[in-house]
Amino acid sequence: MCLHQCTIYSLLSASTGFASAAFTLWKLTVSRATAMAIIPARANTHQRISMR
């Protein structure tokens, strides 16, 4: 009986740890992507478009 309970606890613990790590990585990815997206947007706002 302990094997079944220990397996369930282990799976729940692993799932919780994975979810926490994924959320932390998501926050870091979003903050970095936001910081990188702001710089090119400001640098490219004054380009001319040639028309015929």
Q: What is the pLDDT of residues 20-41, one digit of tens each?
A: 999 999 999 999 888 887 766 5
Determine how many CB atoms are found less than 10 A away from the CB of residue 36: 9
Token pair belonging to 13: 């613990």
Residue with tokens 């903050």: 31
Q: Is the pLDDT at 19 greater than 90, yes or no?
A: yes
Task: Give DSSP secondary structure letters for 1-12.
Answer: -HHHHHHHHHHH
Q: For position 44, what pLDDT does the model report?
A: 56
First to last CA, the chain: 80
Number of helices (H) and strands (E), helices first, in the chain?
1, 0
Token pair belonging to 19: 């979810």
